């Protein structure tokens, strides 16, 4: 049973949360009538709701500790989560992937063109999340300036199209290669850094790129941005706006499939195992003979490649870009996708991107409270699943004995 001390803590949490949300939920100013409306009923709802949630969290933690103690006393082995079994077994994974692909292909015919356009944005963030997952999830390098590579890809296509009339398909690999080059340029100065220091340097790099684009008017058109960027072509056929959106949607489906295939192969390759070793223990990784410099630079370059590719697609989708589209908030959203989905987990990043991008759109019915509800969902998620929605499947090796007695 709960003790009085636990109830007291939950009450303090609810009062503190009510204090934090007081200016937003209680006070409503009408500048036209010059009146202030005090909505005290909202404060009551906040106190009761946060108190109930705090109690539920504490009960959940107590039950979790009791189950852990019971398993430890009985010497029982934890059962493998169902999601990890599904992702590991091909007989479950392949039908699930086939059903998801079929739904994705039929999505434009089932939903409106507006929903299809929103899904294009979500798929772009899926690719961005998978690219950052290489750097943060696999290699363990906290990169807060990932949006800089996104901006490099977008501006490479915008400037090439503006000055030289370069088409989308030619600019796509150019943007990816330029972003990879910038990833290597960022990687060299931070080879000896890790943790918070690495995060600060990468954050500064992202801001430097944005400020250069904002202030170098002769090069990037400054805050005014670049407009009339050409959309992707289809064998010289002029597409309508709706046709262009459908074409971009199926293009993003192909890019997502290609990205999943490449990232999965990289994760299972020698360089992927080197990234994981670097993430777990950098000193032990170097002691085992792994080239730390090459491993870090490869992670930065390959992660930046996907950001540059999506940047080109973003410029072609919106036909207008300016530095305001590449702020630190974009890097934070992409990092949230990786952390919320599960660091190192491909399926988790996909789910995290779809939730973080689509959830705010579907919470528009809550009007002014939708971002508050969105933040509350993230907080609850991090309390109950700190390892992410789909935790990365950790490889395990079992020693088996032959019938003759010798091990294999």
Residue 307 to residue 335: CA distance in whole angstroms: 13
101 Cβ contact list (under 8 Å, min separation 6) = 257
Q: What pLDDT shows up at residue 131?
A: 94
What's the pLDDT at 365?
A: 66
pLDDT at position 403 = 62
Per-residue model confidence (pLDDT) at position 399? 57
pLDDT score recorded for residue 313:
95
pTM metric for this prediction: 0.81
Task: Give the pLDDT confidence score for residue 321 in this predicted structure.
Answer: 94
pLDDT for residue 402: 62
The CA-CA-CA angle for residues 382, 384, 390, to 5°, reads 75
Report phi then psi at 373, rounded to 5.
Answer: -65, -40
Residues 381, 55: Cα–Cα separation, whole Å? 16
Q: How far apart are CA 17 and CA 300, in angstroms?
A: 39
Q: Which portions of the chain are predicted below pLDDT 70? A: 1-3, 74-90, 92, 236, 365-371, 373-374, 392-408
- What is the predicted pLDDT for the residue at 394? 59
pLDDT in tens, 150-174: 999 999 999 999 988 888 999 999 9
Encode pLDDT of 123-135 as tens digits: 999 999 999 999 9
> What was the pLDDT predicted at 170?
93
């Amino acid at each position: 049973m709960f003790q009085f001390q636990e109830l007291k803590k939950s009450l303090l949490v609810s009062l503190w949360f009510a204090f934090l949300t007081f200016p937003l939920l209680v006070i409503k100013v009408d500048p036209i009538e010059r009146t202030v409306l005090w909505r005290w009923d909202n404060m009551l709802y906040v106190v009761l709701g946060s108190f109930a949630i705090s109690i539920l969290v504490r009960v959940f933690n107590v039950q979790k500790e009791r189950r852990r103690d019971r398993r430890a006393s009985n010497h029982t082995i934890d059962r493998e989560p169902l999601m990890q079994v599904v992702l590991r077994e091909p007989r479950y994974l392949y039908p699930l992937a086939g059903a998801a692909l079929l739904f994705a292909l039929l999505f434009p015919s089932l939903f409106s063109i507006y929903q299809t356009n929103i899904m294009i944005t979500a798929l772009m963030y899926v690719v961005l999340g998978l690219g950052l997952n290489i750097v943060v999830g696999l290699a363990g390098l906290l990169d807060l300036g990932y949006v800089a590579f996104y901006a490099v890809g977008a501006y490479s296509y915008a400037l090439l199209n503006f000055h030289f009339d370069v088409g989308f398909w030619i600019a796509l690999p150019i943007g990816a290669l330029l972003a990879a080059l910038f990833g290597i340029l960022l990687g060299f100065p931070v080879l000896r850094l890790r943790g918070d220091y690495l995060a600060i340097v990468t954050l500064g790099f992202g801001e430097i790129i944005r400020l250069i684009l904002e202030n170098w008017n002769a090069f990037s058109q400054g805050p005014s941005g670049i407009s009339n960027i050409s959309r992707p072509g289809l064998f010289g056929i002029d597409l309508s706006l709706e046709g262009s959106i459908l074409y971009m949607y199926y293009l993003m489906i192909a890019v997502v499939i290609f990205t999943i295939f490449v990232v999965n192969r990289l994760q299972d390759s020698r360089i992927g195992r080197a990234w994981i070793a670097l993430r777990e223990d950098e000193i032990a990784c170097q002691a085992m003979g792994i080239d730390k410099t090459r491993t870090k630079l490869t992670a930065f370059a390959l992660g930046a490649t996907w950001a540059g590719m999506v940047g080109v697609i973003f410029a072609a989708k919106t036909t207008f870009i300016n530095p305001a589209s590449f702020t630190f908030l974009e890097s934070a959203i992409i990092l949230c996708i990786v952390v919320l989905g599960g660091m190192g987990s491909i399926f988790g990043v996909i789910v995290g991107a779809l939730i973080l991008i689509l959830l705010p759109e579907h919470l528009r019915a809550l009007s002014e409270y939708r971002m508050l509800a969105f933040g509350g969902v993230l907080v609850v998620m991090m309390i109950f699943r700190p390892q992410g929605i789909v935790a990365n499947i950790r490889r395990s090796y079992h020693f088996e004995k032959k019938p003759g007695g010798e091990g294999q």
